[in-house]
Structure 1
Amino acid sequence: MRRTARRAGKALGAGAAAALLALATPAGTAQAADGVLSIDGTEHEDPSGCFPLGDFAPPKIANLTDGTAWIWSGPSCDGQVTQQIDPGTSAIGRGRSLYIE
């Protein structure tokens, strides 16, 4: 009888952990911006996520997407937002990384 109770308890604990994990997972998935993001002439079609901008000369960015690009002071889209590049505009990136979704 004790073995059956222990097994039932372990199964219940595993089920509860799986339920918590399912609730912690985001409901939707991230969607890429539609269009082209150009960083110093390199084109990224339907971009999504973080792009490094380098440490030296500020890059020319053309945001030809339907999403807003955010320039960050840190190299991994961390630190502070230093600039916003709206859809359909171009700018010189004054930061170390760019995030777009």
Structure 2
Amino acid sequence: MRRTARRAGKALGACAAAALLALAGPAGTARAATGTLTIDGTGHEDPSGCYRLGDFAPPKVVNGTDETAWVWSGTDCDGQVVQQIDPGTTTTGRGRSLFID
């Protein structure tokens, strides 16, 4: 009788733990920056991810978001970070791509 009660208790505990995990949702959910990132006159509302900056002339970047944008030396947000563009800043992008989270 004790063995059956123990097994039932363990099964019930496992079910309760699984239910709590299912209701909790994913940890570290992704979110985009809030605001508009403008690159050479093109606005990106609530941007997230990597944006190419062009191959020839350095672009004008307006970071109207609540997040810092990072300019990279490579075209796919690779290489090295060469510039930081803080929220509320307008500047010339001095790299090949820009990442914002």
What's the TM-score bracket when you normalise by the shorter of the two chains? 0.7 to 0.9
TM-score by length of 1: 0.73
> Which one has the largest radius of gyration?
2
The reply on whether 1:34 has 2:40 as its aligned counterpart is no
Cα deviations across residues 24-52 of structure 1 (Å, max 9, x unaligned)? xx831221000000000000000000000
Q: CA deviation at 1:90?
A: 0.6
Q: How does 1:63-78 map to 2 (within 5 A)?
A: 63-78=63-78
The reply on whether 1:51 has 2:51 as its aligned counterpart is yes
Q: Provide the residue aligned with 1:11 in structure 2.
A: none
Unaligned runs of 5+ in 2: 1-25
Separation in 2, partners of 1:69, 1:57: 19
Q: CA deviation at 1:71?
A: 0.1
Separation in 2, partners of 1:73, 1:45: 24
TM-score by length of 2: 0.73
Equivalent position amino acid for 1:73 in 2: S
Separation in 2, partners of 1:87, 1:98: 14
Q: CA deviation at 1:98?
A: 0.2
Which contiguous aligned blocks of 4+ residues in structure 1 show a shift greater than 4 angstroms? none
Root mean square deviation of aligned Cα: 1.0
Secondary structure of residue in 1 paired with 2:91: strand
Separation in 1, partners of 2:46, 2:27: 22
Q: Provide the residue aligned with 1:86 in structure 2.
A: 86
